[in-house]
Amino acid sequence: MNSKQDDEINKTFPGSHNYNSANNLIGSDQNNNRDDFDDRDDSSIALKVDNLSKVYDSPAGRLVVLRKINFIIRKGEFVSIVGPSGSGKSTLLNLIGGLDKPSYGRVVINGIDIFSLKDNEIAQMRNRLIGFIFQSFNLISRTTVQKNVEIPAIIAGMDSKGRHERSSSLLRTLGIEDKALYRPINLSGGQQQRVAIARSLINNPAIILADEPTGNLDTKTGKEVFDLLRVLANKYRRTIVLITHDPGLSERTHRTIFIRDGMIEKEVIN
């Protein structure tokens, strides 16, 4: 990566610390910068999950999907969540992102207790503080790649020049600038997921939530997408929570939280 690209990326990710500008954006393995992980001051905390519980009541009975989940994620941490199918991983991520409401407990992002907010404020918070990446990409097929990336910025009220500059910069960073005017359908799965990653970054969120983002990709492409997330975490200090089924990927994140039957089974520092 040249210094011009570095400048651009620093502009694209305000607040990021570019520890090693000599590294390539893709495939960086050395930058495991975790020097502030022992800080106990609250400003180092990106996410606090406090006694989070989710219960579904139905005529068939009560289903406890999450019970008293507690953990903290620090700024710049890349944390994976693994667990059997049906163990509550997606429910947990959707609660963290304010897409669903808990039965009990709190989610605090950058010091904001999100469920103390009104619904319209939660939507605003989600737009500003959270970047989502889904297994199925969730791109809008009727419009261009560039417009897809800009949608959260449009919602946030960014002016069109700022949006265009920032989305162009992200597309370049993710290596798909030549696809800006394509429709998503004309891109490969890996390229579509890069568009989704660019979209998740456009509002410079406090935290990126990725629910099995490599689940629809072949192994090689999945690894490339994962490596991008890893660089975003290690080099650009993005805070990322990743659900994955792949132990080969989860062990390459900073920390893994194992979920079973709606509870934290164990946590492993990788």
Ligand X SMILES: Nc1ncnc2c1ncn2[C@@H]1O[C@H](COP(=O)(O)OP(=O)(O)O)[C@@H](O)[C@H]1O
Residues that bind Mg ion (CB under 5 A): 89-90
CB of 58 to ligand X, least distance (A): 6
CB of 62 to ligand X, least distance (A): 10
Q: What part of residues 72-91 is at the interface with ligand X (CB under 6 A)?
A: 83, 85-91
Residues 227-241: b if buried by 16+ CB within 10 A, e if exposed: bbbbbbbbbbbbbbb
Q: Is 65 in the site for ligand X (CB under 6 A)?
A: yes
Q: Which entry of Mg ion, ligand X, none binds 56, CB below 5 to 8 A by partner kind?
A: ligand X
Work out which of 15, 20, 42, 63 binds ligand X, going by CB under 6 A.
Answer: 63
**Closest CB to Mg ion among 75 and 89?**
89
Q: Which entry of Mg ion, ligand X, none binds 15, CB below 5 to 8 A by partner kind?
A: none
Distance CA 114, CA 144 (A): 32
Burial of 103 (0-12, 13-18, 19+ CB in 10 A): middle
Q: Is 56 in the site for ligand X (CB under 6 A)?
A: yes
**Closest CB to ligand X among 155 and 263?**
263
What is the pairing mode between strands 45-58 and 104-109? antiparallel
Q: Which entry of Mg ion, ligand X, none binds 190, CB below 5 to 8 A by partner kind?
A: none
**Closest CB to ligand X among 37 and 71?**
71
Q: Which entry of ligand X, Mg ion, none binds 179, CB below 5 to 8 A by partner kind?
A: none
CB of 86 to ligand X, least distance (A): 4
Residue type, 102: P
Q: How many other C-beta atoms can be found within 10 angstroms of the C-beta atom of residue 245?
A: 14
Q: Compute CA 213 distance to the chain's CA centroid, rounded to the nearest angstrom.
A: 10
Q: Which entry of Mg ion, ligand X, none binds 83, CB below 5 to 8 A by partner kind?
A: ligand X
Q: Report whether 229 contacts 242 (CB < 8 A).
A: yes
DSSP 205: -
CB of 93 to Mg ion, least distance (A): 8
**Closest CB to ligand X among 85 and 141?**
85
Q: Which residues pair with 73 in a beta bridge?
A: 47
Residues 214-225: b if buried by 16+ CB within 10 A, e if exposed: bebbeeebbbbb
**Closest CB to Mg ion among 45 and 243?**
243
CB of 240 to ligand X, least distance (A): 17
Q: Which entry of Mg ion, ligand X, none binds 27, CB below 5 to 8 A by partner kind?
A: none
DSSP 188: -
Residue type, 179: K
Give every strand in the sheet of 104-109, ordered side by side. Answer: 61-74, 45-58, 104-109, 112-113
Which spans of this chain sit near ligand X (rule: CB under 6 A)? 56, 63, 65, 83, 85-91
